[in-house]
Amino acid sequence: MSTTTLAKGITTGLRAAMEKDSRVVLMGEDIGKLGGVFRVTEGLQKDFGEDRVVDTPLAEAGIVGTAIGLALRGYRPVVEIQFDGFVYPAFDHIVSQVAKLHARSLGSVRVPMVIRIPVGGGIGAVEHHSESNEAYFAHTAGLRVLACSTPHDAHWMIQQAIETDDPVIFYEPKRRYWDKGEVGEEPAGALGSARVVREGTDVTLLAYGPMVKTCLQAAQAAQEDGHSLEVVDLRSLSPLDEETVLASARRTGRVVVVHEAPTFLGLGAELSAMLSERAFYELEAPVLRVGGYNVPYPPSRLEDDFLPDLDRVLDAVDRSLAY
Amino acid sequence: MSTTTLAKGITTGLRAAMEKDSRVVLMGEDIGKLGGVFRVTEGLQKDFGEDRVVDTPLAEAGIVGTAIGLALRGYRPVVEIQFDGFVYPAFDHIVSQVAKLHARSLGSVRVPMVIRIPVGGGIGAVEHHSESNEAYFAHTAGLRVLACSTPHDAHWMIQQAIETDDPVIFYEPKRRYWDKGEVGEEPAGALGSARVVREGTDVTLLAYGPMVKTCLQAAQAAQEDGHSLEVVDLRSLSPLDEETVLASARRTGRVVVVHEAPTFLGLGAELSAMLSERAFYELEAPVLRVGGYNVPYPPSRLEDDFLPDLDRVLDAVDRSLAY
Amino acid sequence: MSDDEVAPLETAFGVDHHVTHAELPDRPAHEGGPDMVQLLTPEGERVAHPELDPLVEALSREELQGLYRDLVLIRRFDAEATALQRQGELGLWASLLGQEAAQVGSGRALRPQDHAFPTYREHGVAWCRGVDPVNLLGMFRGVNHGGWDPDEKNFHLYTIIIGAQTLHATGYAMGVQRDGDVGTGDPQRDTAVIAYFGDGASSQGDVSEALVFAGVNNSPVVFFCQNNQWAISEPNEKQTRAPLWHRARGFGFPGIRVDGNDVLAVYAVTAQALENARCGQGPTFVEAYTYRMGAHTTSDDPTKYRVSAEVEVWKHRDPIERYKRWLTTSGTADAAFFEAVEAEADELGRSVRERCLAMPDPDGTAMFDHVYAEAHPVTARERAWFTEYQASFEQEVAR
Amino acid sequence: MSDDEVAPLETAFGVDHHVTHAELPDRPAHEGGPDMVQLLTPEGERVAHPELDPLVEALSREELQGLYRDLVLIRRFDAEATALQRQGELGLWASLLGQEAAQVGSGRALRPQDHAFPTYREHGVAWCRGVDPVNLLGMFRGVNHGGWDPDEKNFHLYTIIIGAQTLHATGYAMGVQRDGDVGTGDPQRDTAVIAYFGDGASSQGDVSEALVFAGVNNSPVVFFCQNNQWAISEPNEKQTRAPLWHRARGFGFPGIRVDGNDVLAVYAVTAQALENARCGQGPTFVEAYTYRMGAHTTSDDPTKYRVSAEVEVWKHRDPIERYKRWLTTSGTADAAFFEAVEAEADELGRSVRERCLAMPDPDGTAMFDHVYAEAHPVTARERAWFTEYQASFEQEVAR
Ligand SMILES: Cc1ncc(C[n+]2csc(CCOP(=O)(O)OP(=O)(O)O)c2C)c(N)n1
Ligand SMILES: Cc1ncc(C[n+]2csc(CCOP(=O)(O)OP(=O)(O)O)c2C)c(N)n1
Ligand SMILES: [Mg+2]
Ligand SMILES: [Mg+2]
């Protein structure tokens, strides 16, 4: 048990994976001497050398494309995309190659690659540095999509992501990088599992990444108003842990999904559709969605207006309870 | 009124737009002498010259990127992406530039660009030639996404797409390219509108592009079984014509969404979520989704198993009616 | 497109970048230009080349005959596949007609431990690597997306997304470097990677990025561009203003143009480039100047965009004819040999046809296989649903 | 990275591609190499250059003084912005310190009808184009993503996605061609486009694709690469094995390296390249060899990855000092002039600060503006919801 930040939780997770398996190779822009713009890879090049912590040319398609080649040679590349908005030049390689090579080869080839993406807003950044693009990848068969929300999960989930033979998009909630928490001795659940992080009886809040903390705060505030909210940290966005989600939804009968991404075709849409398909008679209210608006991520002075916060979550809870 | 194929409906629509506005420029691979691999631009280079029907280098990012520049200079580029699976190299320019430039410039710049994409399966093609990737673009604020399903709509909607000052992703259902139909004198509705293409009372089928025909066939078959199905052609995937959809859903109380894309986070998810948010008490059954499976598009000998067909639509109708 | 444009600006600046060329048989630009390496004229005459001759001379009579056999057999295979497509047995076929020498010459320059990353047209390379050609038909027949294990013969899967494989090859070569399989001096160990791509592909950003990564890492990869003059309907001029082999220099490594219809020249140039890669001298860009004699694929109609006179000119440069002439005049092979190869080709054609027709359609559930390497709830649920749904029809039929 | 590597393979093939260079002042590779065009030494001495001298000699005393004024004012503006960031008034700042000459020299070579497509660091070019520098602060303050109308001064919006603007510039130049604004001989009409990008950006596929499109179309675009030696923490060697200006040749047009800290050389080279573009001679790649004296942005900590000795070396090549020396020794400007510029700079700093602090925060509803040019139901509904939701708080507060 040790206390550390979410960022350092990933650092120690990467370090553990690299120590365990010499074929784990980190690739990305500025991840070497600089340790990455968020310092997540700090110290790793010094300890593991330039062949295992690679400062690549500035070209995301090139990074993911060559990582595929390394994976085909038996390596396990862990790619850092510097900011969420910079993953798109690599989109083609991710959806047409990384996601499909295993199936294309009838199983003879594996692409055990992890693509780490610092995600979301709330840090006052300029354009393209605050996006939440998980829906694109979750909609893509062949990929697994994970989102961690605590130092503990950061440490363990990155290792699970590296260990699985499937390619993983690994989201790190950048505005929680500096949040501290304890890292325990064991993962909080298997790859793909969600976790009830606060039990409650009136309404279920479904969240992941940066919004888990917001939902926990909302649940705390709601308690003072006499409402008991359950908070589920999805942890895996593809596949979803439908059983955990369903069990909670059945218990409370009311669900609010919270994410930073625009709601239109965001994860909330899938969760809503799935819940109405699988728990139609058990829902007392429609699944409500709290998310970013359907606009490009705004300039930072407006991000507080854009991002779901405690008040907007509680507003949705009230609307749900009103049904 | 004239009878023509869907492909030629687009050709005549493009021709009309080019005659009307000399700043309309077509760009793409093999669209000149060859007339495009589907011959949609056949004859246009001969009539409008190489400056207005441009055979570009083989580079989709380059095509869309330079089209942006042309748009900034006041042109109205219409880009052809040869097949659905080849749009991804241009993904970055589409989501980070095309979709955002108008907002970024506080309205001073417009990007009146149309990106034509032959979409979907059913033509026995090899990999990457049969994909349905509309959800990626529909989830992207700043874009409009259209899908035509008949020669009439093909002819008129492409012109509406060119006329609007917003960027448009324009989907053409490739396996319906050779279907014939009449092209009337007027558009079948404004940009963004859906259309009830068959009225019915028991269940609403929501579809677009290639699946409209499938749904009409299903409705015909269902009639013989005594079920009255309403079919709505969405036509616009972003924005959705929620009012038309809602009105139909309220009439029938039961909705089945049909598309070729995998259901997980496909358009059906959004429609289901929206309908339960806006018509919770009026739905007799959960919105059911019939779509591709959550797998990469399979080899063509399996595509009939993958693609929603009349039977699968009717199976969902039965399940809906069983609620 | 002319190879010898003069740079007005640089000249204006007093900087003369005009490339100086060593002596090679003079040749007009439309025939590949003066820099194109050629060891056999279209008439089958041997052109001396002091640096490369030793590589060719090291080939045994059997190896020299083998090249011919490869050329003929792969052409026959290709013709059979085209016929199968016409008869509805394949959904599509991408013919290599005319490019046999480029593929066989380079394919035979590979050592067993080397790795090849093809486009969708490298049937000749697959053949040289020992991939059963019937396996190449699977994706065109629509029974799979790639019918062989890439690690079995070190021949990777066909890649349809233009240019993508050049990055995969480069990354693979970076892996080879990390494995220490470069520059050891052990001919069984030192490994090179070859990436195939077309003239059209050269425009894709991916390909340029591959040149960047390979250059920066000095990786053991050969970029083998088959310039068959056309990217579907677009001629070279729509893709590039400079000869393609010029591209490499600006990324920090050498480029070379070779007559792609001259199997000896292609062999020698590629062998040298691969050897340089294995020794740790880094990448090379080889432009094999050739011609796509047929349609782009069986779906294509080249009469829409190119004149038959052009095709006629290239017929005179046929890679098989020219090599056959040289084999004959040099006394390397005789009529009996040629006849035997012909017979073998007939047999190959028959066998390929037979085995193609026998290829079973996969079961519908196959689409759920290998989407993920590890258990996945959505795939599992959908697979179960699909199986049950299929069964319900069979019951109906049974009833 | 050395400029004069020899190509082993090509040599092995008897093809010598080693570029021959005309006479230019000898200079070691780490100072830009022998091919770098320089008109002023770091000590401020004028180097003769027969081809380019006329361009410089055509400048009036006022214009020559104006260049100095630009250099000083934009440096002062930049320093003020850095200070504003430190004081929390900006979220971020990307300083141009050290790159003033590259930006002013190229910016002043533009004609009014020309168009510039910047990265996020071209404050000096914006200044030359007449964009009010306060407008550049908006996106760094977080009040907008781009605070000026690109068509007002023909200076396009800052582009953060590395390399993307090179394609936009190329497409824009293709539009210029379609408008017939190339090669008419009318100096008010013929139009060129300039695309700025960095050494790191050269690795992006987009940039290579822009070179392809510009080459194929012979478009009037100048690719202006500010090689400031660093892409955040990565030095040139991580991006390229060859000098960047070599890149152009393989795409079919000339490349040239100019001393990016020599405002006269940058001016002359860019003016010539732009003029060639306007005349219909097509694109040029200009590599301005310079140095990023400060951090990548205010968020960066360069001590992690580069040694101060390097920075010290470059201090001796300061673009302003050297030009000031030449202005003085050549008698083009005197102390009174320099003092006046200093005073003007102080005034600019004060005004920028004042107006930055006065920049209002936009209203929350602004995020719904201009997402679409035409009415959009989702935006409209969300905007209405947002407005009502905001109002509910205000009511609460009012209560
Ligand atoms: C990214 C992408 N865009 C477009 C295509 C469609 N396409 C298939 S082959 C081809 C032309 C390729 O030309 P070239 O690279 O010269 O190879 P060749 O077919 O001549 O061997 C095109 C445009 C594709 N497969 N992938
Ligand atoms: C596509 C993309 N990837 C990564 C980044 C993050 N990033 C911003 S600036 C930069 C370095 C750019 O270096 P260079 O092109 O040399 O320009 P300079 O900053 O030195 O002026 C990086 C990696 C980005 N903005 N866009
Ligand atoms: Mg070709
Ligand atoms: Mg730089």
| pLDDT for the residue A127 | 98
Q: Identify the CATH number of the domain in which residue B278 sits.
A: 3.40.50.920
Which of the 8 DSSP states describes residue A192? T
Classify C116 in phi/psi space as left (phi over 0), alpha (psi -120 to 50) or beta: beta
Nearest to D37 by CA among D55, D49, D28: D49
CB D81 within 8 A of CB D352: yes
User: A45 and A158, same structural domain?
Assistant: yes
Positive or negative, the Cα torsion across A131, A136, A138, A142?
Answer: negative
Confidence of residue D393 (pLDDT cuts 50, 70, 90): confident
Specify if B189 maps to a domain: no
Which chains touch D (3+ CB pairs under 8 A)?
A: A, B, C
User: B16 and B109, same structural domain?
Assistant: yes
Q: What is the mean pLDDT of residues D37-60?
A: 97
| Candidates A58, A81, A82, A92, partner chain B, best to mutate (most B CBs within 10 A) | A92
Mean pLDDT by 10 residues, chain B (323 residues): 94 98 98 98 98 98 98 98 98 98 98 98 98 98 98 98 98 98 96 98 98 98 97 98 98 98 98 98 98 98 98 98 97
Residue of D nearest to A30 (CA): D233
Whole-number Cα distances in Å, A157 to A191, A235, A239, C379, D180: 7, 9, 15, 22, 58
Q: Any bridge partners for residue D115, and if so which?
A: D193
Longest dimension (CA), chain C: 89
| pLDDT for the residue D20 | 31
Q: What is the mean pLDDT of residues A117-141?
A: 98
User: B228 and B179, same structural domain?
Assistant: no
User: B241 and B174, same structural domain?
Assistant: no
Confidence of residue D21 (pLDDT cuts 50, 70, 90): very low
Give the span between the Cα atoms of A81 and A177, in whole angstroms. Answer: 15
Give the span between the Cα atoms of A76 and A170, in whole angstroms. Answer: 14
User: B35 and B107, same structural domain?
Assistant: yes
Q: How would you class C159 by CB atoms within 10 Å of its CB: exposed for 0-12, middle for 13-18, buried for 19 or more?
A: buried
CA-nearest residue for atom 3, ligand 2, is A86
Residue of A nearest to D376 (CA): A294
Q: What is the mean pLDDT of residues D38-53?
A: 96
Which chains touch A (3+ CB pairs under 8 A)?
A: B, C, D
Nearest to D250 by CA among C284, C231, C245, C19: C245
Domain that holds residue B120: 2-183
Q: What is the mean pLDDT of residues D135-142?
A: 98
Confidence of residue C399 (pLDDT cuts 50, 70, 90): low
Specify if B262 maps to a domain: yes
Question: Looking at the predicted complex, does its ipTM rise above 0.90?
Answer: yes
Q: What is the mean pLDDT of residues D311-327?
A: 97
Catalytic residue, candidates D292, D317, D322, D323: D292
Q: Estimate to the nearest angstrom the gap between the alpha carbon of A304 and the chain centroid.
A: 21
| Candidates A22, A66, A139, A240, partner chain C, best to mutate (most C CBs within 10 A) | A66
Put simply, whether the predicted model's pTM sits higher than 0.95 gets the answer yes
Minimum-distance CB partner of D171 among B59, B68, B104: B68
- The torsion angles phi and psi of A55, rounded to 5 degrees, stand at -75, 110
User: A7 and A133, same structural domain?
Assistant: yes
Q: Is C23 on the interface with D (CB under 8 A)?
A: yes
| pLDDT for the residue D4 | 39
Count: domains in chain A: 2
User: B179 and B227, same structural domain?
Assistant: no
Specify if A189 maps to a domain: no
| pLDDT for the residue D399 | 62
pLDDT digit string (tens) for A142-192? 999 999 999 999 999 999 999 999 999 999 999 999 999 999 999 999 999
| Chain D residues with CB-CB distance to C221 below 8 A | none
Partner-chain contact C232 B34, CB within 8 Å: yes
Give the catalytic positions of A in this structure: 129
Q: What is the mean pLDDT of residues C90-119?
A: 98
| pLDDT for the residue A108 | 97
SS (H, E, C) C204-250: CHHHHHHHHHHHHHCCCEEEEEEECCEECCEEHHHCCCCCHHHHHHH
Last residue of a domain, one of B160, B183, B206: B183
Q: CA angle, D1 as apex, A28 and C194 as ends, to 5°?
A: 60
Minimum-distance CB partner of B99 among A61, A141, A296: A296
A58 lines ligand 2 (CB under 6 A): yes
Show the beta-strand stretches assigned E in D228-312.
230-231, 234-235, 255-259, 284-289
User: B215 and B91, same structural domain?
Assistant: no
Confidence of residue D14 (pLDDT cuts 50, 70, 90): very low
Give the span between the Cα atoms of C139 and C92, in whole angstroms. Answer: 9
pLDDT digit string (tens) for C301-347? 999 999 999 999 999 999 999 999 999 999 999 999 999 999 999 99
- The torsion angles phi and psi of C226, rounded to 5 degrees, stand at -85, 100
C123 lines ligand 1 (CB under 6 A): no
Q: Which CATH class is domain D3-357?
A: alpha beta
| pLDDT for the residue D28 | 79
Specify if B40 maps to a domain: yes
Specify if A78 maps to a domain: yes
| pLDDT for the residue D395 | 78
User: B211 and B107, same structural domain?
Assistant: no
Give the span between the Cα atoms of B275 and D319, in whole angstroms. Answer: 64
Partner-chain contact C212 D240, CB within 8 Å: yes
Residues 6+ apart with CB under 8 A from D152: none
| pLDDT for the residue B235 | 98
* Total residue length of chain D: 399
Specify if B188 maps to a domain: no
| pLDDT for the residue D26 | 65
Catalytic residue, candidates C123, C296, C317, C322: C296
Q: Identify the CATH number of the domain in which residue B44 sits.
A: 3.40.50.970
Please determine, for residue D78, whether its predicted confidence score (pLDDT) is greater than 60.
Answer: yes
Q: Which H/E stretch holds residue A311?
A: helix A310-321
Give the span between the Cα atoms of D82 and D79, in whole angstroms. Answer: 5
Minimum-distance CB partner of D371 among B51, B74, B141: B141
**Amino acid at position B216, single letter:** L
Q: Is A267 on the interface with B (CB under 8 A)?
A: yes
Please determine, for residue C10, whether its predicted confidence score (pLDDT) is greater than 80.
Answer: no
Higher pLDDT, C88 or D25: C88
| pLDDT for the residue C6 | 33
Sequence ranges of the domains in chain C: 3-357, 364-398
Last residue of a domain, one of B135, B161, B183: B183
Nearest to D166 by CA among D191, D195, D192, D194: D195
With a pLDDT cut of 70, the percent of chain C lying above it is 93
CB D212 within 8 A of CB C210: no
Alpha helices by DSSP H, chain B? 6-20, 44-48, 60-72, 91-92, 101-104, 134-138, 151-163, 211-224, 242-252, 267-278, 303-306, 310-321
User: A216 and A84, same structural domain?
Assistant: no
Beta carbons within 10 angstroms of residue D31's beta carbon: 15
Q: Number of A:C CB contacts under 8 A? A: 133
| pLDDT for the residue D398 | 66
pLDDT averaged over every residue in chain A: 98
Confidence of residue D22 (pLDDT cuts 50, 70, 90): very low
pLDDT averaged over every residue in chain B: 98
Confidence of residue C30 (pLDDT cuts 50, 70, 90): confident
Please determine, for residue D16, whether its predicted confidence score (pLDDT) is greater than 60.
Answer: no
pLDDT averaged over every residue in chain D: 93
pLDDT digit string (tens) for C138-191? 999 999 999 899 999 999 999 999 999 999 999 999 999 999 999 999 999 999
Q: Is C33 on the interface with D (CB under 8 A)?
A: no
| pLDDT for the residue D228 | 98
Q: What is the mean pLDDT of residues C233-262?
A: 97
Give the gap in angstroms from C-alpha A193 to the nearest C-alpha of chain B.
17
| pLDDT for the residue D15 | 36
Q: What is the mean pLDDT of residues D51-70?
A: 98
Give the gap in angstroms from C-alpha C114 to the nearest C-alpha of chain D.
19
User: B148 and B265, same structural domain?
Assistant: no
User: B243 and B294, same structural domain?
Assistant: yes
Give the catalytic positions of B in this structure: 129
Partner-chain contact B301 C299, CB within 8 Å: no
Whole-number Cα distances in Å, B278 to B249, B270, B287: 10, 12, 13
Catalytic residue, candidates D305, D350, D372, D381: D305
Specify if A22 maps to a domain: yes
Provide the pairing of β-strand B144-147 with B180-183.
Answer: unpaired
Q: Is A91 on the interface with B (CB under 8 A)?
A: yes
Give the gap in angstroms from C-alpha A320 to the nearest C-alpha of chain B.
10
Residues 150-209 of D with CB under 8 A from C: 202-206, 208-209
| Chain D residues with CB-CB distance to B273 below 8 A | none
In chain B, count H helices and then E strands: 12, 14
Please determine, for residue C24, whether its predicted confidence score (pLDDT) is greater than 50.
Answer: no
